[in-house]
Chain A
Amino acid sequence: MYRTAAKRLLGAGFATSRLLRLPKPRPTTTIIPYSYTSPLCTSSSMGHTESPIGNQSVNLNQPDPTSSSTGTREGTRRDESSRKPRAEFQEEQARVLAASLRHVPRLGWTEEAMIAGSREVGVSPSIVGSFSRKEAALVEYFMDECLQLLIDRVDSGLDLQNLIPSERVSKLVRIRLEMQIPYMSKWPQALSIQAHPANVPTSFKQRAMLVDEIWHTVGDGSSDLDWYVKRTVLGGVYSTTEIYMLTDDSPEYRDTWAFLDDRVKDAFDLKKSIQEAKYFAQDIGAGVGKSFQGLMNGVMQTMSTRGRSSAF
């Protein structure tokens, strides 16, 4: 939703820069992988003042549990501070989580994986204790990474020109789901973590962003109710395919992609079906109305002729 809104506001000249760079205050943002933003990116929502003596400053958290919006000051502060650059917490967290992902297939989406990751990076595992909603932090980081990879794939020239919309959607969903293949053995755990009440807001938001991104890439120019319908439908298609994939044993997940193609086709057919149903209803309404009118005319004529004759 951010990308379509931005395109509308800033016009065609809007560079396809990272969605995550938009300077907008987002009260419940997910963890932003800072390795993808430029070092000089500043978020105007933070608007902090520089300490002239370069004192160590305390990170500001908006009162939200994901505590991800603190790290945006790092770029400017490192440039201006006279002290040696200190790694900001957000960066460290991202590094630890990135390293932890390598241990997930073996250890699952757990604290153990994050402890192993932190040891790899050379940081005390105590830092894991400070991640908010620990395992969820890892899963959310992964979801963000995948979205970013998808955007990168699209931007670096994915060929969608020769495909009809339903095939484009299929292709994009397939690319995204393929990123989960290395973690497939532990993916059910990730899904259950995302389903915890505490984690639902963030996971819902991440999925909404993903679906929005896919529709945007496919070339969706809709607005009002249609926009919501499209995203809801695609969200449903994505989720069902994801779950189907969990129990798919076929070589290279062939069955999953067949399932996906069918579902996408159904969704597009659904759209057509809805349109057809609308026309059908209009026709019936028109038909009933016409016959009713005919009836009334007939009645009027009969009454008027009868009236003339009875007036005799």
Chain B
Amino acid sequence: MAFRSISRRFGSRLLTYRSSSLASLLHSHATSFGFQEVKEEEKSKLVGNVFTNVASSYDIMNDVMSGGLHRLWKERLVGKLSPFTGMKHLDVAGGTGDVAFRIFDAVNSVKRRALRKVDEESLEETQIYVCDINPNMLNVGKQRAAERGLSDNKSLVWVEGDAEALSFDDNSMDGYTIAFGIRNVTHIEKALAEAYRVLKRGGRFLCLELSHVDIPIFKDVYDLYSFKVIPNLGELIAGDRDSYQYLVESVRRFPPQEKFATMIADVGFEKVEYENLVGGVVAIHSAIKL
């Protein structure tokens, strides 16, 4: 895997050009459902249908499509976050709980407990909120928690909510993650603004998302795999070709790494950086609220 971390900044001479192209980009994202054109109001309903359909086989499909790599990507995401005890964390669009469980484990691992120094503030309890707009995905997550014996654990809280209008207080979260979810949001800038709102000062924003590949030959291989193999896998395993067709198309429609970094900075975040994994198939964007 080639890991590369790059940050960027604004240049004023490109400002006017960029803002108009950004506005049109956001509008086109809001009205696109994959390669189809849809009304803005309808997009969230259509996305909702997709996830209601795929919820039960979501995890299996992730494993098959990425060859198990998605686990490594999520590990890296949590590694970058550096969770600590007493943390208040929000995982948005994290329905089935992959990221949340990893954070929980990181905070409560035996090694951590052994190394923990007595510190009054760490007696505060870690709270990990998992927010998802789709109740089916949340149910799968709750089920998995039960399987691990965590259903009564007060640290994990499952909340139904919309990324564009979170029900949490301002300045209440130490960390905010969204893994493979921001692509499905109708208005990306609203989700980012909400993220900025709920984070405390010094809070960390991390976004793991499928992104754009620029490497010449690899790009074609990836396109071939996306458009030929994945919808067929969807049909075979999940019995739903259309949802996975939507998935690969929505990846292409999502803004590329640099553009997305610009959008994050626009909302007010500092130290915006991104790291490409697998040549750009996946990118982790990180930022801090100051």
Contact = CB atoms under 8 A, between A and B. Distances in A.
B164 interface: no
A14 interface: no
A56 to B, nearest CB: 5
A107 interface: yes
Interface in B103-127: 115-117, 119, 121
Given A56-B266, A124-B201, A130 B10 contact: no
Interface in A87-119: 87-89, 92, 106-107, 111-112, 115-116, 118-119
Interface in A140-193: none
A107 B268 CA distance: 34
A124 B202 contact: yes
Given A51-B12, A92-B202, A63 B6 contact: yes
B91 interface: no
Interface residues of A, number: 39
B82 A53 contact: no
Tell me the interface secondary structure of chain B in the complex: mixed
Contacts of A123: 201-202
Interface stretch (B129-137, B142-150, B152-160, B269-277): B269-277
Nearest to B200: A124
A11 interface: no
Contact of B204 (A52, A53, A88, A126): A126
A89 B261 CA distance: 17
Nearest to B85: A115
Contacts of B202: 92, 118, 123-127
A62 B157 CA distance: 40
B117 A59 contact: no
A87 B268 CA distance: 12
A55 B10 contact: yes
A61 B86 CA distance: 31
Nearest to A52: B12
23 contacts: A48-B9, A48-B11, A49-B11, A49-B13, A51-B12, A55-B15, A56-B268, A56-B269, A58-B261, A58-B265, A59-B7, A59-B270, A60-B9, A61-B6, A61-B273, A89-B271, A89-B290, A107-B117, A124-B200, A124-B201, A125-B202, A129-B204, A134-B82
